[in-house]
Each structure stands twice: as structure tokens, then as C-alpha cells.
């Protein structure tokens, strides 16, 4: 990553900003996780000249994520308002990836390999079966599989596992590959025939933001101060710093957000070539989500022979890797897929999810030209396409004012935004 100076705001802070085509609005995107990078991409597509400011590129939650795009298998009781957000974002993935692929040929690791829900013993089976009933009641496609179908589909699963449920539309992406692809798209010289309105290639600034302050005197614009004590002007700002939000000064005190770290330990393995028959690339085809002794474990097979096993969910004070969690993840994974024992363990990663009380993110405008997008909790990779599109559209709306929105917000968008409101849950 280069460490270029941000582009100067010039006098754009004093004139009302109008948006059409390549607007040249200089916009700071603060945070470079998957949500921040995709938001920067949507803003570039909408004509903004984007500067991404972060101490690193996607080294926090996005670095650990398995990348399950699983609005159905991630369903939990009492989260009715989260499901429409997850489902809407899932629907936006193909379009997002198609647009990205016109800007770069860097792969994203997207795989439509479906998900199987399974259980180790009788009480685990009852729990998974109950959840499958709930999922079906909400119109989700979840089909019970007989033991012989399960065996035929995934012969490497432990012989004791006799029951499974098929969720054919829950897929996966590789977040690290996605990050590389979005970075390339942000840097690319885009063909104007494909992207007639796009802004300039992104500027990258390696720094932590310490403050975002409105330019005084009623004119539009913001001063962004970084930890090297430099202050730079921008016409617009989108804050996407994950858990870093609460450390940034200057934001309206009326909007503290209820964010907390939820630590997750995750393992990365590689299939041992000795485990494969000629022509095979993996011992597992679908993503497997299992209940083992009441605990949850998932196994996500990558196309290149990788396997991601995750993830613990801890709210303790240990920010490093928790030995007991690693032990449980490995033994539960072996109970489901005995071949895990013979694989190469290549990485153990621990990161914190930016958690919120209801697992729903916070997305909204604090001021004209200032949007907050954080709290993506357990589902940020899944939610990123929706978050990026709505974050960019909200910014344009707040800049242009009604009734001349650039990117229309539909009634359905408004409803989704209401359930992600910055002030929900407050009296
Ligand atoms: C173990 C684990 C497994 C997961 N698995 C999945 C999964 O399978 N599917 C799924 O959908 N989700 C998953 N998640 C959740 C997902 O990873 C997160 O919700 C998502 O990555 C959040 O993205 P983000 O861009 O908002 O934040 P982050 O990825 O946390 O990025 C925040 C960015 O902001 C920057 N930043 C912070 N403070 C500042 C500051 N002051 N100034 C400038 N920049 C700043 C950071 O450096 C970083 O670049 C998982 C998470 C974990 C931990």
C-alpha cells in the first residue's frame, strides 16, 4: 500500500455539492475491512474520488472471516429483523461480483457449493431439526437428507453421522481474495465505456484516524485528523472502522454506538495430497455446519484444497488465541470429518467481531456528507454488498438532498435502513 497524501479538498467545502456523473467529490472512507473497501468501490462507481484511510488493509475481523454467505444456516432464534438484511445482501452478491469482474480479473474465491447442516448425536440432532423447522416456517429452503444420500454426497463424513439437512443456497467467498480483488478494482484505470461515471483510482493513506470534525461556519466539509497529527479536508466522509469507531473524536455525542468485541478463533488447514484419489481436489464438497456436544463448528472447503474450521465466540478479555477453543474446534471437526487429523494445520487466527446487542449493524447518516457503517458483527462478509450500496447511496442522498437523489433508495431499502438505524433501541 502506498502512503500518498490525500487529495486536497480545494474550495469544495464551501459550495453545495451537486452529484451527476463523475462528481469529483473527494470522499474519505475510514477503515479498510471488507465493508470499507466495498463501500469505497461503490462510491468510486458513483463518481466520487475516494481516499481510503486505515492503518492497514483488512487485518482485523475481515482477515479472520471464513466467508460463509449463509443467511439460512446462520439463522438464530429471536433475530427476525436480521434475516431480511442477510437475505437482501445475499441476493446482491452476483451483481456485485459481475461488476467487479469487469474491473479486474483477480479472483474472489466465490463458490456456489451449498451447505449441509449435521449433528453428532441424538440431542444435537434434535436441536438442528428444531432449527430446520423454524427455517422452513420462514420460507427458507432446507431439505432433510437420508443417511444414504448424505453418505453419497459427502463420503468422508464420520460414519456415525446419520442425518443431515441440505441448504443449497448458502455459499461462500474467500474474504482475503475478495479484498485483493476490490483493491485491484479501486486501483484500476477503468474503461469509461464500462464505467462512464466512475471516479479516479483510489488514494491510499496509511494512518489511524483520531478525529473527524465538521468545518465550522455552516459550510460543507470535514477535517480528518490522523495519528501523525496531520489534518486533511474532505467534502464527505464514510466511517467504516469496525470496532475502532469509539476511539474517533469529534463525532456527535448524541450518537455513541453500542459496540463490543466478540473474539473468534479460527483454524486454516490444507488437505494432505495422500488423502485424495486421482482427480480429486478435496475430501469435502459442501460447507458443513455441525452441532457436536451442543457446540457449533463449521468446516468450509476451499476450491484449492484449503479448509477453514471455525469459530469460537468469546467475550472474555483474552485478545490472543484461546488454547481451549482451538482444542475444541479441532476435536469437534475430527468428530465430523475424521480426515481432519491427517491434514496440515497452516494457520490459527484470532480476531474480534464488531458486535452489537442485536447482531444488526449500524448504518446511517450523522450529518449531510457524514455516514457511519459499522457493527457488522458475525455477518459482515455476507452483509458487505448491501452495506456498501446503501452506505454510498445514503452519502449521496445526504449530500444532494431530496428530491434529487442520485442512487435511488427504494421503499425496501428504507425498511432495511430502519432496522440498521444508529439510534434504535434508545428511548
Ligand atoms: C473468526 C471470525 C469468523 C467470521 N466468519 C464470518 C463468515 O463466515 N461470514 C460472515 O459474513 N462474517 C464473518 N465474520 C464477521 C466479519 O468478519 C465481520 O463482520 C466483517 O469483517 C466486518 O468488516 P468491517 O470492514 O466492518 O470491519 P473490519 O474487518 O474489522 O475492518 C475495520 C477496518 O477499520 C480500520 N480502522 C479501525 N480503526 C480505525 C481508525 N481509527 N482509523 C482508520 N481506520 C481504522 C481497521 O484497521 C480495519 O481496516 C467473522 C468474523 C470472525 C472474527
How many Å apart are CA 1 and CA 418, to the nearest integer? 36
pLDDT for 251:
87
Report the b/e string of 176-195 with b at 16+ CB within 10 A. Answer: bbbbbbbbebbebebeeeeb
Please give the pLDDT value at position 218.
65
Q: Is 145 in the pocket of ligand 1 (CB under 6 A)?
A: no
Between β-strands 49-54 and 203-206, what pairing exists: parallel, antiparallel or unpaired? Answer: parallel
Ligand 1 and 385: CB distance under 6 A: no
Give me ligand 1 centre to Cα 427, in Å.
29
CB of 227 within 6 A of ligand 1: the answer is no
Res 356: pLDDT: 97
Q: Please give the pLDDT value at position 406.
A: 58
pLDDT of 78: 85
- Ligand 1 contacts CB of residue 178 (under 6 A): no
Answer yes or no: is the C-beta of 353 below 6 A from any ligand 1 atom: yes
Q: Which domains does the chain have, with CATH numbers?
A: 1-110+171-258+357-427 (3.50.50.60), 115-168+260-355 (3.30.9.10)
Three-class DSSP category at 327: helix
Q: What is the pTM of this model?
A: 0.94
C-beta of 310 in contact with ligand 1 (< 6 A): yes
Å from CA of 381 to ligand 1 middle:
8
- For residue 313, report the distance from its CA to the centre of ligand 1, in Å: 15
13: Cα separation from own chain's centroid: 32
Alpha carbons 236 and 48: distance in angstroms, whole number: 9
For ligand 1, whether the C-beta of 30 sits within 6 Å is yes
pLDDT for 404? 40
Q: Report the candidate in 284, 69, 302, 74 with the shortest Cα–Cα distance to residue 169.
A: 69
Ligand 1 atom 50: residue of nearest CA: 65
- Mutate which of 241, 300, 321 for ligand 1? The one with the most ligand atoms within 8 Å of its CB, which is 241
Q: Ligand 1: which atom is nearest the Cα of residue 380?
A: 19
CA-based max dimension of the chain = 72
What is residue 7's predicted lDDT score, i.e. its pLDDT? 33
30 CA distance to ligand 1 middle (Å) = 13
How much is the pLDDT for 6?
33
* pLDDT, tens only, 212-247: 999 987 667 999 999 999 999 999 999 999 999 999
Segments in the chain below pLDDT 50 = 1-18, 20, 402-405
Answer yes or no: is the C-beta of 38 below 6 A from any ligand 1 atom. no
What pLDDT was estimated at residue 139? 85
Q: How far is the CA of 353 from the centre of ligand 1 (A)?
A: 6
pLDDT computed for residue 256 by the predictor: 82
Residue 3 in grid coordinates: 502512503
Amino acid at each position: 500500500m502506498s502512503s500518498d497524501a490525500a487529495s486536497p479538498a480545494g474550495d469544495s467545502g464551501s459550495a453545495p455539492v451537486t452529484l451527476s456523473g463523475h462528481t469529483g467529490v473527494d470522499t474519505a472512507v475510514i477503515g479498510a475491512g471488507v465493508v470499507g473497501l466495498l463501500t469505497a468501490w461503490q462510491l468510486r462507481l458513483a463518481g466520487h474520488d475516494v481516499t481510503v484511510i486505515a492503518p492497514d488493509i483488512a487485518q482485523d475481523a475481515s482477515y479472520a472471516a471464513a466467508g460463509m454467505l449463509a443467511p439460512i444456516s446462520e439463522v438464530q432464534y429471536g433475530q427476525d429483523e436480521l434475516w431480511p438484511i442477510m437475505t437482501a445482501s445475499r441476493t446482491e452478491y452476483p451483481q456485485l461480483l459481475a461488476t467487479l469482474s469487469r474491473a479486474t480479473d483477480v479472483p474472489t474465491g466465490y463458490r456456489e457449493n451449498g451447505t449441509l447442516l449435521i449433528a453428532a448425536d441424538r440431542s444435537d440432532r434434535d436441536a438442528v431439526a428444531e432449527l430446520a423447522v423454524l427455517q422452513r416456517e420462514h420460507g427458507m429452503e432446507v431439505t432433510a437428507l437420508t443417511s444414504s444420500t448424505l453418505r453419497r454426497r459427502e463420503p468422508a463424513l464420520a460414519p456415525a453421522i446419520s442425518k443431515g439437512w441440505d441448504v443449497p443456497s448458502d455459499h461462500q467467498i474467500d474474504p482475503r481474495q475478495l479484498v485483493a480483488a476490490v483493491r485491484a478494482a479501486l486501483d484500476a484505470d477503468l474503461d469509461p465505456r464500462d464505467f462512464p461515471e466512475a471516479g479516479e483510482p483510489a488514494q491510499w493513506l496509511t494512518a489511524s484516524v483520531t478525529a473527524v470534525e465538521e468545518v465550522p461556519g455552516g459550510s460543507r466539509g470535514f477535517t480528518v485528523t490522523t495519528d501523525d497529527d496531520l489534518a486533511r479536508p474532505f467534502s464527505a466522509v464514510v466511517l467504516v472502522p469496525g470496532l475502532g469507531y469509539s476511539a474517533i473524536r469529534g463525532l456527535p455525542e448524541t450518537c455513541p454506538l453500542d459496540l463490543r468485541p466478540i473474539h473468534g478463533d479460527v483454524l486454516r488447514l490444507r488437505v494432505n495430497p495422500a488423502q485424495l484419489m486421482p482427480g480429486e481436489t478435496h475430501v469435502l464438497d459442501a460447507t458443513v455446519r455441525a452441532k457436536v456436544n451442543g457446540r457449533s463448528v463449521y468446516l468450509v472447503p476451499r476450491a484449492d484444497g484449503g479448509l477453514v474450521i471455525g469459530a469460537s465466540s468469546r467475550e472474555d478479555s483474552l485478545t490472543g488465541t484461546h488454547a481451549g477453543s482451538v482444542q475444541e474446534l479441532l476435536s469437534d471437526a475430527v468428530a465430523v470429518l475424521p480426515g481432519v487429523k491427517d491434514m496440515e494445520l497452516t494457520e490459527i487466527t484470532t480476531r474480534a467481531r464488531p458486535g452489537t446487542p442485536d447482531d444488526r449493524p449500524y448504518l446511517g447518516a450523522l450529518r449531510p456528507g457524514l455516514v457511519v457503517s459499522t457493527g457488522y458483527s458475525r455477518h459482515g462478509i455476507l452483509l458487505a454488498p448491501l452495506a456498501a450500496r446503501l452506505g454510498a447511496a445514503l452519502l449521496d442522498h445526504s449530500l444532494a438532498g431530496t428530491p434529487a437523489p442520485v442512487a435511488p433508495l427504494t421503499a425496501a431499502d428504507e425498511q432495511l435502513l430502519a432496522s440498521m438505524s444508529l439510534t434504535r433501541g434508545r428511548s
